[in-house]
Structure 1
Amino acid sequence: MRKILISVLLIPFVACDDWLDIKPKNYVASDEVFTTRENLYAALTGCYDALQFQHYYGRSFIIAGDLLSDNSMAKGTKIELIALDENNLTPDNIIVEGIWEDIYTAINRANYILEGVQNVNFLNETEKNDIVGQLLFLRALHYFNLVRLYGAVPLKLKPTTKNNPSNFLPRSPVGSVYQQIISDLDSAEISIHNNQPQWATGRSVKALKALVYLTLGDYSHALYYTNECLLENSYLESDYSRLFGSFTEPSPEIIFYIPFIPSDNNRLAEYHFPNQLGGRYENAPKLDFVNSLTTSDKRKKWIAESLSTSSGNIYYTKKYPNLSTGANNVTVLRNAELYFIRAEALYFTDSVAHYNAILSDINTVRQRAGLNPIDSASAVGKLWPILENEKQLEFAFEGKRWFDLVRTNRALVKIPSVTSVNQTLFPIPQTEILYNPQITPADQNPGY
């Protein structure tokens, strides 16, 4: 009997929703997923579990977002990480292939349930719609991450099985992929009823829409959805420990996060902690970035904790502080990012007319970090560098910096090893070109 692997997410929170109280099975046969409520929600849990894959939010996707940028540098001997640091990728890079494969596996899980859930008779319409909405949010997130990394990608909207010819699709244009992302999010927005931030919520849909529209340069829609979110909740957490690590109660600032427990094998701490503390020290802050941090900045110990060694001080991030257990939750969306989305959208709409509003959003996040606000006079002529630098400080080692630089056409300016716009996309993996007859070497991204 063909099996679908469901690695269970053990959530340490109790919610009133009945389905969150169901203990899912480790494995659910494919022909049993839609037979009981328990099996269906176990399969849904498996869709969230896919976010934890090691080449996705469990490690590589997060590390790539910083290592490709001016935040960090490769300190170990792993050639795939050194290639990221040097912006010298090849189609057979383990991470290039791994992120692609993990995200498409996640998409396939979502598509499988989307195809069958409408036919079950043990859920009411509200419950069905909620499940569909959550899955559409996840699929939109997956394709958003794919299109930003690889550009045009195969747009799979139906479940596939191994070695089935229907698996093989050509690359869809970037515009078509974004149209599907927006369509999925539009549908998700009116369908989701869940309000727990470890699962997709209506607010997480709006926050993702704001970021997607910002990426597309549609600043009016980016502002609309950002304001919608911030009107509902504009809280910024004063205790950073409630944003990182194994918090048992998520901060109200968190919009969407991925819980990890020890058995989930999150290796982010291992890859960031120094060898002297039992880690691998594969990804470390660049010294010029460390030197840009002031001692009064509350974020400094989370971004660049200092460790004295025989060869001098070294620095490492503590945003993933639990090395021994690996129980480090990963925050995907939080309110601080909304302030920066709004500031960026206002800047590119009219930086003069919105000067004070932009500076106000920047200062709101700065002051939460214990820093003095930047006065209006000192920001004249420097508003964009200030905005860019402040967001870099706030989200260092959360996998966002590379996407920010690419979105604003700043990668070639800020990163010496990026000398061509071709480097702002990953190559299509060699395995995909080898096995997918719809994608040939001629379809490879330019420069690879």
Structure 2
Amino acid sequence: MKFNLKKYKAGILLLILTASASSCKKYLDEERRDNFNTGNYFTSASQARTFVNGIYANLYMFQNGDAYGESPFITLELFAGHATTLGQSVNNKQVINQTTSPTNPGFQTVWSNSYAAIANANVALKRIPDIAMPDADKKKLLGEVYFMRAFFYYHLVRLYGDVPLITEPVTITSETLYPERSPIASVYDLIVSDLKAAKESGLPATDQTGRVSLGAVRTLLGSVYLTMAGYPLQKTENYALAAAEVLPVLTQYTLFDNYAYLHDNAHKNQGELIFQINYLVGVKENAIPQLIIPFNLQVGAYNDKLGAMIPTTQFVASYPAGDKRAKEREFYFNSYPKDKDPNTILQFGGPALYKFFHVESALGNGKSDENWTLFRLPEAQLIYAEAQNEADGAPNATAIAALEAIRHRAELPPLGALSQTAFREEVWRQRYHELAYEDKAYFDIQRTHKIFVVPGGTFAEATTTPNEQGVTMKAQYYLWPIPQREINTNPKLKQNPGWQ
């Protein structure tokens, strides 16, 4: 059965994110403004707010896809090698087997949506400073824009390497209408500069409405510094910067005491959830549950069950004995009652991702509005632990406590004293186990050039060690190819090595 994802795509240019007085998240559709005149449009604070809210809509690219579940959030995980697909997608299977090409639609989705967001961010940064509105409100608004531009450039530079660096609004006569690729280091310079500007904009420490907060800025900047310390830049002095950046975040958020809160409706944008992509039934829905349910099993009130992203049995078995996350209906599940027939238990024949299962829509009308998490506290804790250990040559008490908090919630025993190397690998291991299938693993492979080897739970060179599916990573797969459509359109763009 084909799945029509068109009904999940935004049919709007702008989406408004607002919070009511009771801090209840509310999303409102905004009319199309494809041809608005910026000279007339940027005249009030409300117009500026609406325009900035529209930039958030490009975050939905991660769950965009076609009839076979070829969503970027899945493509990223398939590149990491710990997931397979039971569905009909040829492109997904080619990614798993490393036989894909620059025509893979996911590459174009990420590229075009990222540059659409960046284009709107550039317009906002150019026009909002001239609007008459309270300075504090204006600074916060610009802080959100700086964060968003940095966020999208961060994905572009990690995925494609050298990319066009566009910082001004582009018109039909602009020299940057057909831009060349800029060096990776220059792109990172802009990302860091933007995030430093966002830090100084007066954003609140935390936010429960779906907007950018200082905690989100610091976590993103910490991730940026950690990445810059690894491949390809190897600026190891940035380990200390990463640790210092995320340290305040560790005390501003609280770990949930129930893993179910990671994917239910009641705890959106709360607790350990630092920054999420927000959804709401009737306004913007998604197909996340359908994509992770085993193919065609009657689990939940969904029209389609695609099996597009299924964890490998070997990866789930790599969790240590007693790890709560590997127990039934924590991060994974192997069975579930049949829809409309709760006395019949369907056996999957292997694990599926309960971590992304949405009980509300499964038991309801099949319309999912679960949020997708971009940053949460455990990632900040692991950024700090890894960065501090590398910067100082050994873990300090704060780094140990951060790591142990994650392990303690998983009901694992204390580690005891560890060397720098052993601590580093335990942090990496927790990144794989705690942040599993949250689109972090492929980026970890890029920056460390190591893969997580299962069974065994060790780490080895990415391009010489086969994963549990028997595939050895090709060096070209450290980067995505420039989408073929972009190459065809812009003769100044040159393809990444190995993808010609």
Do the structures match in fold with TM over 0.5? Answer: yes
Residue from 474, 479, 483 that aligns with 1:429? 483
Report the counterpart of residue 225 of structure 2 in structure 1: 213
| CA distance in structure 2 between the partners assigned to 1:355 and 1:82 by the alignment | 43
The within-5 A match list for 1:301-316 is 301-307=329-335, 313-316=349-352
| CA distance in structure 1 between the partners assigned to 2:44 and 2:323 by the alignment | 52
Report the counterpart of residue 30 of structure 2 in structure 1: 25
The within-5 A match list for 1:323-334 is 324-334=366-376
Amino acid of the structure 1 residue aligned with 2:289? A
| CA distance in structure 2 between the partners assigned to 1:160 and 1:141 by the alignment | 20
Residue from 240, 246, 250 that aligns with 1:226? 246
Kindly tell me: are residues 126 and 381 of structure 1, through their superposed partners in 2, closer, same or farther at Cα, counting changes over 3 Å? Answer: closer
Conserved in 1, the CA contact under 8 Å of 2:389 and 2:420? Answer: no
Report the counterpart of residue 8 of structure 1 in structure 2: 15
Q: Once the 2 structures are TM-superposed, how far is the Cα of residue 160 of structure 1 from its aligned partner?
A: 3.1
Amino acid of the structure 1 residue aligned with 2:220? L
Conserved in 2, the CA contact under 8 Å of 1:33 and 1:43? Answer: no
Q: 3-state DSSP class of the match of 1:319? A: helix
Amino acid of the structure 2 residue aligned with 1:97? Q
Report the counterpart of residue 140 of structure 1 in structure 2: 150
Report the counterpart of residue 95 of structure 1 in structure 2: 106
Q: Which has the higher helix share?
A: 1
| CA distance in structure 1 between the partners assigned to 2:86 and 2:404 by the alignment | 34
Kindly tell me: are residues 80 and 288 of structure 1, through their superposed partners in 2, closer, same or farther at Cα, counting changes over 3 Å? Answer: same
Report the counterpart of residue 50 of structure 2 in structure 1: 42
User: Higher mean Cα deviation, 146-155 or 89-98?
Assistant: 89-98
Amino acid of the structure 2 residue aligned with 1:287? T
Report the counterpart of residue 366 of structure 1 in structure 2: 407
Instruction: Show CA shifts across 1:143-194 (max 9, x none).
Output: 0011111111011112335797642110000000000000101111101434
Kindly tell me: are residues 264 and 59 of structure 1, through their superposed partners in 2, closer, same or farther at Cα, counting changes over 3 Å? Answer: farther
| TM-score, normalisation: structure 1 | 0.88
| CA distance in structure 1 between the partners assigned to 2:305 and 2:189 by the alignment | 42
Kindly tell me: are residues 223 and 248 of structure 1, through their superposed partners in 2, closer, same or farther at Cα, counting changes over 3 Å? Answer: closer
Q: Once the 2 structures are TM-superposed, how far is the Cα of residue 311 of structure 1 from its aligned partner?
A: 8.2
Conserved in 2, the CA contact under 8 Å of 1:89 and 1:426? Answer: no
Q: 3-state DSSP class of the match of 1:256? A: strand
| CA distance in structure 1 between the partners assigned to 2:82 and 2:96 by the alignment | 10
| CA distance in structure 2 between the partners assigned to 1:344 and 1:128 by the alignment | 36
Conserved in 1, the CA contact under 8 Å of 2:58 and 2:117? Answer: yes
Task: Work out the number of aligned pairs and report it.
Answer: 436
Q: 3-state DSSP class of the match of 2:106? A: helix
Q: Which structure 1 segments of 5+ residues have no match?
A: none
Q: Once the 2 structures are TM-superposed, how far is the Cα of residue 398 of structure 1 from its aligned partner?
A: 1.0
| CA distance in structure 1 between the partners assigned to 2:466 and 2:392 by the alignment | 24
Report the counterpart of residue 377 of structure 2 in structure 1: 335
| CA distance in structure 1 between the partners assigned to 2:172 and 2:442 by the alignment | 33
Conserved in 1, the CA contact under 8 Å of 2:395 and 2:420? Answer: no
Amino acid of the structure 1 residue aligned with 2:98? N
User: Higher mean Cα deviation, 429-438 or 307-316?
Assistant: 307-316
Report the counterpart of residue 354 of structure 1 in structure 2: 395
**Which of the pair has the greater relative contact order for Cα pairs under 8 Å at 6+ separation?**
1
Kindly tell me: are residues 221 and 381 of structure 1, through their superposed partners in 2, closer, same or farther at Cα, counting changes over 3 Å? Answer: closer
| CA distance in structure 1 between the partners assigned to 2:27 and 2:311 by the alignment | 42
Q: Once the 2 structures are TM-superposed, how far is the Cα of residue 302 of structure 1 from its aligned partner?
A: 3.9
| TM-score, normalisation: structure 2 | 0.79
| CA distance in structure 2 between the partners assigned to 1:125 and 1:310 by the alignment | 58
User: Higher mean Cα deviation, 419-428 or 52-61?
Assistant: 52-61
| CA distance in structure 1 between the partners assigned to 2:267 and 2:16 by the alignment | 14
Kindly tell me: are residues 90 and 162 of structure 1, through their superposed partners in 2, closer, same or farther at Cα, counting changes over 3 Å? Answer: farther
| CA distance in structure 1 between the partners assigned to 2:392 and 2:108 by the alignment | 40
Amino acid of the structure 2 residue aligned with 1:214? L
Residue from 293, 297, 302 that aligns with 2:319? 293
Percent of aligned pairs with the same residue? 26
Conserved in 1, the CA contact under 8 Å of 2:15 and 2:27? Answer: no
